[in-house]
Structure 1
């Protein structure tokens, strides 16, 4: 099943020439994925003027986030990056419906523009709040396990693949009349909470499942050594028992292990210092800082 999915993807994925042609417009491409803290629970009303705007030379394809088994997952269209790509965003029939929330994408773009002034950038975002990698932890939110069949065989990994395929169907994402070459620059992954609140057994499998999923995402972007930056999960302790994610320490260990053992991966640990808007999600300032930290980490990986 997994091999079939990859084969279908590669057949549908527009082939990119190894050598960049001069007539193509090179745009740096980043994938943003995970669960709710990648969705983003920051409030647009809290944004400073420097982020509350449309970003020139930055475009985003945000795949429609839905549960497993839903055929509308991954639908979307390219548009200039602006606030509204947080929780509550949706896309249907090539029309994006922006929300009143934001995630890491705004400050991520702003910081990258400091590192790559006057260059063009593209973000592909697909994340789903509450989703786990392990199928036994998915519940109603969804699983990223590529071989999880459920009722119809459609899961979060399938929605991700559809997002990637749909995003690459556009040959000219900025509409300037020049064919685009989307140059993969990195994978930004913020997820793991839902794998850390069920059982010790599920949390103990996280390293193996994370490593496999990141390798498959790299393959889907046709780059085996593509930089991966992991956001380390944290705990608000905003619960009577004191710990929101009972086995979160096992997931944290797995994330650290992945960053240490993968030659082109890094981990962002600033999450431990963030304040929360509720039991599970960072406040607006947290998402702003997290975007900056992700940008710094992926930039540094690309300098190696």
Structure 2
């Protein structure tokens, strides 16, 4: 593990601790992965219920940058609204919203409806095309904690920066009362890029387990519930009828992960989703995906 992950653990210790002493507790979920976590749904396709801001639900969406670049993970806490899909950018004070959305909208709404007496917040950092294995990273980047590259900075470091910046704000809704974030779960939608290489596909179980363990440690909860989305193939004819060459190996690894971890669940309905291009789902599917993640998370929380 890189040295500054120890520092973020100390930051998290002060921010996540002593929840019982403060009535302003907020349940927080981390959303991470690659492009289908980014979200390729079009806002124009949203139903009216999801086109509006979700008052009372806050999100910290870390700015995404490539490996070896600084500035990843900066952002600010804002009320959740559409525009957190691909093309979203942020600085330390404001968000620049895109015309796309991901699973965050329907996930948050479903969770809030299921737990109306609790407050919900999201922390999101994802980057399209990224793998866990550095060998499969290509130009998109990787989440390998041991990656050194040119500067030693990669997507895992940007995740840590996202968490550090998110936790630096002790009053995320600016109401003058200290907020205490209570870690409740991890949502992970990724694996497609690792299925491009046989070696990274075979290594996916070990790589996924290690990364999830580290994210759990960062959020200071050893058995934190994890829901992962099972990757699917569009079988696009223009790409020879199969997009992910070793996709079955990654799918098997995902199944093994949830089989061996009784605090993890998997969303399998992705196999029925339609695609807007060879890699990404249609707008309606991101709504369905958020609902499915929420339903799986709620079962883990029972």
In the superposition, the TM-score normalised over structure 1's length comes to 0.96
Residue 41 of structure 1: CA displacement?
A: 0.1
**2:17–2:180 contact (8 Å) kept in structure 1:** no
**1:14–1:168 contact (8 Å) kept in structure 2:** no
Structure 1 residues 174, 17: CA separation in 2 closer, same or farther (over 3 Å shift)? closer
Q: Is 69-78 or 19-28 further displaced after alignment?
A: 19-28
Matched, 1:172 2:171: yes
Residue 3 of structure 1: CA displacement?
A: 5.1
> Aligned partners of 1:161 and 1:85: how far apart in 2?
19
Residue 14 of structure 1: CA displacement?
A: 5.1
Tell me the alpha carbon deviations over residues 41-91 of structure 1, each in whole angstroms, 9 at most, x when there is no partner.
000000000110000210000000111111110000000000000000001
Tell me the alpha carbon deviations over residues 128-155 of structure 1, each in whole angstroms, 9 at most, x when there is no partner.
0000000011111111000100100000
Q: Is 239-248 or 67-76 further displaced after alignment?
A: 239-248
In the superposition, the TM-score normalised over structure 2's length comes to 0.97
**From 206, 212, 216, the counterpart of 2:214:** 216
**1:20–1:181 contact (8 Å) kept in structure 2:** yes
> Aligned partners of 1:114 and 1:55: how far apart in 2?
12
Residue 110 of structure 1: CA displacement?
A: 1.2
> Aligned partners of 2:9 and 2:112: how far apart in 1?
31
2:96 matched residue in structure 1:
97
**2:265–2:296 contact (8 Å) kept in structure 1:** yes
1:226 matched residue in structure 2:
224
What does residue range 255-294 of structure 1 map to in structure 2 within 5 Å? 255-294=254-293
Gaps of 5+ in 1: none
1:63 matched residue in structure 2:
62
Matched, 1:181 2:211: no
**From 223, 236, 242, the counterpart of 2:234:** 236
Matched, 1:38 2:37: yes
1:73 matched residue in structure 2:
72
**Matched position secondary structure for 2:72:** coil
Tell me the alpha carbon deviations over residues 241-275 of structure 1, each in whole angstroms, 9 at most, x when there is no partner.
21100100000000000010012000000101111
**Matched position secondary structure for 2:180:** strand
Bigger proportion of residues as helix: 2
1:162 matched residue in structure 2:
161
**1:227–1:265 contact (8 Å) kept in structure 2:** yes
Residue 278 of structure 1: CA displacement?
A: 0.5
Residue 118 of structure 1: CA displacement?
A: 4.0
Tell me the alpha carbon deviations over residues 264-291 of structure 1, each in whole angstroms, 9 at most, x when there is no partner.
0000001011111111000000000000
Residue 292 of structure 1: CA displacement?
A: 0.1
User: Matched residue pairs, number?
Assistant: 301
Runs of 4+ in 1 over 6 A off after TM superposition: none
Gaps of 5+ in 2: none
RMSD between superposed Cα atoms in Å:
1.2
What does residue range 15-54 of structure 1 map to in structure 2 within 5 Å? 15-16=14-15, 18-54=17-53
**2:62–2:74 contact (8 Å) kept in structure 1:** yes
Residue 6 of structure 1: CA displacement?
A: 2.5
Residue 24 of structure 1: CA displacement?
A: 3.9
**1:57–1:119 contact (8 Å) kept in structure 2:** no
